[in-house]
Structure 1
Amino acid sequence: MSEKRSFFQMIFGTSRQPPKQQTYMQMLNSTPNFVDFSGEAYDSDTVRSTVDAFARNVGKLKAKHIRRVNGKIQDANSDIEWLLQVRPNRFMNAYIFYYRLATQFLMSNNVFVWIRRYPGNNKIEGFYPLVSSSVDLLEYNGSMVVRFRFYDGKEYTAPYEDIIHIRRFFFKNDMFGESNSKALKPILNLISVTNQGIANAVKTSALLRGILKFTAMLKPEDMKKQTDQFTQDYLTASNNGGIAATDSKAEYQELKSDPKMIDDKQMSAMENKVYSYFGTNGKIVQSDYSEGEWGAYYESMIEPFALQMGLEFTAKIFSDRAQGHGNEILFEANRLQYASNDTKVKIIETLVDRGMMSINQGLEVFNLPPIENGDKRIMSLNFIDADKANEYQLGKTKAPPEGGEGE
């Protein structure tokens, strides 16, 4: 009979024990711990749709392992690139992996990714995003280690150099991004109260409310009995018709209910406060953006996140020696996918003419399949080498034939 293993054991194993003699890391002006606040805010539909819009687009980023050699960029085509492009770990494909990183980035302002390496050869087995209830920074043998406390009470401790740490709202704390709690909670509470008020107003408008006035003298117990019976028969949601009937013993006087509700403009203003906090707007969330609006969103939100990921993945994946040899991780997106067809054609014509884009790269912009030998770069013969321009002007070199280059 096979032994059952928990998800925790499948990721972290059972043999590795956290280091002993840990002490809390001494910070300059802050505490060495972080407590997650993401749960409450993510329950809001406005927040969730906003975060989803960001995460969906981040999920389309493509990781590349490059080497910069003598000023030239070479594709490394390494196992690391395959992991980051296809399946960063055993449980996630690349899209879901980056989607989760983006979600954690906005919800807790701290992203933690553990680099799991094979024992002995230091080769990377996978990248695992860690979502925990709290994180502590500890000191062990002069180095910083990170202790994660997960929501089920389990703990795991890893060296900080094996943790990819991406931050947002980095201000007072020496190591962690600030919590969303104080900044986001007031507006979320206001939206929640408003939604509850709308629901209560709808319920109230569907019910009868009023005073039952008896025309005859009744004992208190009889009055209460008839009032309860009248309420049960007519003042509940089961009274779909909204009509109450009385005889001469009682007179019903309706109380008009006038619930106060905010208008669309006020509701939109509250939602815009959430959008502004996350650096977006309603058009991005609803995928109703123009080419210019998408470009502004990409440059202000997605590109900075991709830049920070590239820097942090590079620093934690490669040793100083490997980085010195030009190894680097880049995250890029095909921004032309969101341009208009006219813009795509103009850009492709310009870049292909100048040898800056291959045929297959141009086809990719239009979501067309690559062709054989399409990775070649072609260029127009109407351009000359800049170093030869002066020679042409001074007559030292034969002028090129029309449409060709000089000798």
Structure 2
Amino acid sequence: MIFRRIRTHQVVIDVLIGLVVGLITLPFDLHANPFSLVITLGMAVALAFRRLSPATALSVAWATAAFEMLTLSTPQVSNLAICAVLYASAAYGSARVKWLGLGSVGIGAAIGMFYVTFAQLALFGVLHDVSSATDLVRLLLQIGITFLGFLALLGLPWVGGQLVRTRYAARESRDRQLVAEREAARAENVATQAEREAARAERDIAVEQERSRIARDMHDVVAHSLAVVIAQADGARYAYKADPDSVEENLGTIAATAREALVEVRVLLGQLRHSQGAAPQPVLGDLEKLVEQMTTAGLSIDLRSSGVPAQLGSNRQLAIYRIVQESLTNVLRHGDTTSSVDVLFDWRPDDLTIIIASTLRATTPLDSDALTTSGQYRPDERRGHGVVGMRERATLAGGTLTTHQAGGRFIVRANIPSTALTQEVRLR
């Protein structure tokens, strides 16, 4: 690129400087030779273009100097513009122009030394005086001093321009480094904020899962216990007239059920208040006690098992226990308690199928869960939490749960994997 991008006012200033320098030096140069006007104009143009186009300024300066030497003109004051051109070539020029400027320093010093020493001395007839060794030494010394003088005159501006160029490059590098550091800090802040948001989202999810778990457990405990208490209380009220002595047994069952419910509720409330380890949870071995408790409450339960039982994790055992507990509680609340409840555990090599079938009351549908005859929820009716909670437990255990009605019976069918290949989701 020949021309650099500089501000308009910089171009105007450079042109004015070239014009002023030309006007100032022209009166001193006119008396030297008839070509002074051309030489002064050339140096003024080079001075004006030194920042806009260092390559052009260097070319014009060389052309003007060559014209000056070819015409055997005496060096003029306007030649000092060459120093400014060499400075600009090192400070603002491209890498190629910069090194051309450095070459111009050496070549220009040699040519200037030759021109001043030989051409000018020959012109004025000085060389004929060199007739002895002393005169030769004096001449060589003069040549050396002249060369060093030109080298210093032309080299110092170029070195100054190189120093300015280095300072500008260091400043730009520092600015780029600062920008990169700011961008890195901003990216780090964004990443940190994203990590915080992700951690907060994980905490919210964990809290919501824990809240849902406690809600399920609270529903299972309270609904089951209250259903047993209500059934025993109703039974005691009806039996009081016929056999007052049997009331004591019913009241004992009510008290035992209420105490167990109170203990479990206290455990759940303790988990809400403190981050403690999970309390002992029911397992498959507790199903016999559950069946006995529900039988005492007035249900007739036919518990059967087929196949070879597999070893299940505590999480799946808890899910199965809660599903059976909720199903029997729903029968006690909404089903026909005079009919037998069939509970089947069908063990297979890879899974366990649990089927709980109960008879529906002729006058009371399952209003608590707002089910249709196909087992689907009515979206426009208030739903309970029983079937929803059972499905959640089955899903978290890696299985499925469906409900439907057939032949006046309500059937709950749960399928729980029993293989070790399925990862268990932690249920407490």
- The bucket for the TM-score relative to the shorter chain is under 0.3
Greater relative contact order (Cα 8 A, min sep 6): structure 1 or 2?
Answer: 1
Normalized per residue, the structure richer in strand is 1
Normalized per residue, the structure richer in helix is 2
If the length of structure 1 is used for normalisation, what is the TM-score? 0.19
